[in-house]
Structure 1
Amino acid sequence: MQDKSESRPYRVENLLQAQFLMDRAWLRLLNAFTPEARGIAEAARTLGVTTEWLFRRVRRLERAELLTVQDCRPRAGRAVRLYRAVSPAFFVPFSLVPPETVGRHSRAQHLDLFETAIGRAFLRAPFDEHGWGFLTARASSGDVYFRIMREDGLLWADLGEAAPVMVSGWHLLKLTPRDARELQGELRALHERYARRAGEEPFLLGIFLADTSNVPGLEYARGDNGDA
């Protein structure tokens, strides 16, 4: 077990630790014990979970040597263990976990949450009425697109404030390398601008942009495929 450094991230050397660190749910649990040491009861209140639920997971993180007991405090006749993450940051080399494995695991987990949220949105008004579905048609670019609409022609976009906050879609863009980098910078800046705001409601945001020029499977995609 290597010593923790405040200036450098902890370098992960085994697959078990890497598997925990690829999972954002486990990372959020670990983050509850960063940077100060905390008891399980206090961390459970912060996370909004039961102490019993958290205790089992803390034991797993401790066995993986990602959490350590920093101190013990007496309370009500028994010692309360204070746990702390072994480092505020971790470095997982690609030699241990390939980059596509990390991305696939993270995206799959959050895509499941995203699809669940969408499903629940369509159980509420106005989508709980009959007649809603999706329209697929040919775009002017030659590709196909999907649009959520009502059978009488009312589109999702026409609902205004009545529509739930949701953006879903994959877009195939034809860009120059310069335009692609400009778009990359704008997407990052957009996320950072809203990430600094302090609200009360949680929203899940996914941003994807990749060069697919040498990736098979998009041979027939020729333009913007629209969004739902």
Structure 2
Amino acid sequence: MPDHPGSRPYHVESASQAELLMDRAWLRLLDVFTGEARGVADAARTLGVTTEWLFKRVRRLERAGLLAVREVRPRAGRAVRLYRAASDTFFVPFTLVPAETVGRQNRAWHLDLFETAIGRTFLRAPFDQHGWGFVTERTPSGDVSFRIVREDGVRWADLGDAAPVMVSGWHLLHLTPSDARELQGELRALHERYARRTGTEPFLLGIFLADTSGLPGLEHARSERADE
């Protein structure tokens, strides 16, 4: 373990370490112990969890070699152990964990969390009223999609401040390579702009864009321009 955890990325060589680091839930726990050594009780208050809950996870991170005791402070009763992460950053080579595996596991956990949050949204106003549903429609890109509406045609997005904060959906786009790169840059810039802001409520944002040419599953979807 390096003497100066923040000096350079810790080069991961263990599959058990990689398994924890490609899970953002574990990575966020570990992140609380970067920058400075902290006690479990102090870190638990920061995370909003119980000391007992966090201690079990600290022990697993410690066994994996990602966390270590940096200082022991005596006090009446049991001494306080201060833990610090092996490094502020970690390098996990794709030779140890394939990129597809990392992405699939990472997205699966967050998509489950996202769907749970969306499900709760539909139990609250305005969707707790009768008359809400979705309509199917064909988009200009040649794909089919769903749009949340009320029976009288009002869209949930038209409700203004009364509408819940959510964006959900996959969109098939037919772009030139230059347009795709432009969109990629705009999505990154949009995320970075809001990532710098600080607030009190957590919101989960997912951004997905990939070249699916040659992959099975979208053979039916052609742009209207191509049909002309």
Q: Report if aligned partners of 1:44, 1:51 keep a CA contact under 8 Å in 2.
A: yes
| SS of alignment partner, residue 16 of structure 1 | helix
Q: TM-score, normalised by structure 2?
A: 0.94
In structure 2, C-alpha distance between the alignment counterparts of 1:49 and 1:6, rounded to whole Å? 26
| SS of alignment partner, residue 194 of structure 1 | helix
Q: Report if aligned partners of 1:171, 1:223 keep a CA contact under 8 Å in 2.
A: no
State the Cα distance separating 1:18 from its structure 2 match.
0.4
| SS of alignment partner, residue 80 of structure 2 | strand
The structure-2 alpha-carbon separation of the partners of 1:81 and 1:124, relative to structure 1 and needing over 3 Å to count, comes to same
State the Cα distance separating 1:3 from its structure 2 match.
6.2
In structure 1, C-alpha distance between the alignment counterparts of 2:213 and 2:15, rounded to whole Å? 32
Q: Report if aligned partners of 1:172, 1:223 keep a CA contact under 8 Å in 2.
A: no
Tell me which amino acid in the other structure corresponds to 2:182.
Answer: E
Per-residue CA deviation, residues 194-220 of structure 1 (Å, 9 max, x unaligned), is: 111111111100001111112111111
| SS of alignment partner, residue 197 of structure 2 | coil
| SS of alignment partner, residue 78 of structure 1 | coil
Moved over 3 A (4+): 1-7, 139-142
Higher mean C-alpha displacement, 153-162 vs 204-213: 153-162
The structure-2 alpha-carbon separation of the partners of 1:141 and 1:80, relative to structure 1 and needing over 3 Å to count, comes to closer
The structure-2 alpha-carbon separation of the partners of 1:77 and 1:206, relative to structure 1 and needing over 3 Å to count, comes to same
Alignment-derived partner of residue 10 in structure 1: 10
State the Cα distance separating 1:145 from its structure 2 match.
1.9
The structure-2 alpha-carbon separation of the partners of 1:12 and 1:57, relative to structure 1 and needing over 3 Å to count, comes to same
Q: Report if aligned partners of 2:2, 2:87 keep a CA contact under 8 Å in 1.
A: no
In structure 2, C-alpha distance between the alignment counterparts of 1:164 and 1:212, rounded to whole Å? 31
Alignment-derived partner of residue 162 in structure 1: 162
> Aligned residue pairs: how many?
224
Alignment-derived partner of residue 126 in structure 1: 126
Alignment-derived partner of residue 216 in structure 2: 216
In structure 2, C-alpha distance between the alignment counterparts of 1:103 and 1:197, rounded to whole Å? 26
Alignment-derived partner of residue 54 in structure 1: 54
Unaligned runs of 5+ in 2: none
> Which residues of 2 match residues 47-196 of structure 1 at below 5 A?
47-196=47-196
In structure 2, C-alpha distance between the alignment counterparts of 1:90 and 1:143, rounded to whole Å? 40
Q: Report if aligned partners of 2:132, 2:149 keep a CA contact under 8 Å in 1.
A: yes
Tell me which amino acid in the other structure corresponds to 2:24.
Answer: R
Unaligned runs of 5+ in 1: none
Tell me which amino acid in the other structure corresponds to 1:162.
Answer: A
Q: TM-score, normalised by structure 1?
A: 0.94
| SS of alignment partner, residue 147 of structure 2 | strand
| SS of alignment partner, residue 79 of structure 2 | strand
| SS of alignment partner, residue 207 of structure 1 | coil
| SS of alignment partner, residue 110 of structure 1 | helix
Tell me which amino acid in the other structure corresponds to 2:199.
Answer: G
| SS of alignment partner, residue 84 of structure 1 | strand
In structure 2, C-alpha distance between the alignment counterparts of 1:223 and 1:156, rounded to whole Å? 27
In structure 1, C-alpha distance between the alignment counterparts of 2:48 and 2:118, rounded to whole Å? 24
Alignment-derived partner of residue 27 in structure 1: 27
The structure-2 alpha-carbon separation of the partners of 1:58 and 1:218, relative to structure 1 and needing over 3 Å to count, comes to same
| SS of alignment partner, residue 70 of structure 1 | strand
| SS of alignment partner, residue 75 of structure 1 | coil
| SS of alignment partner, residue 211 of structure 2 | coil
Q: Report if aligned partners of 2:6, 2:35 keep a CA contact under 8 Å in 1.
A: no
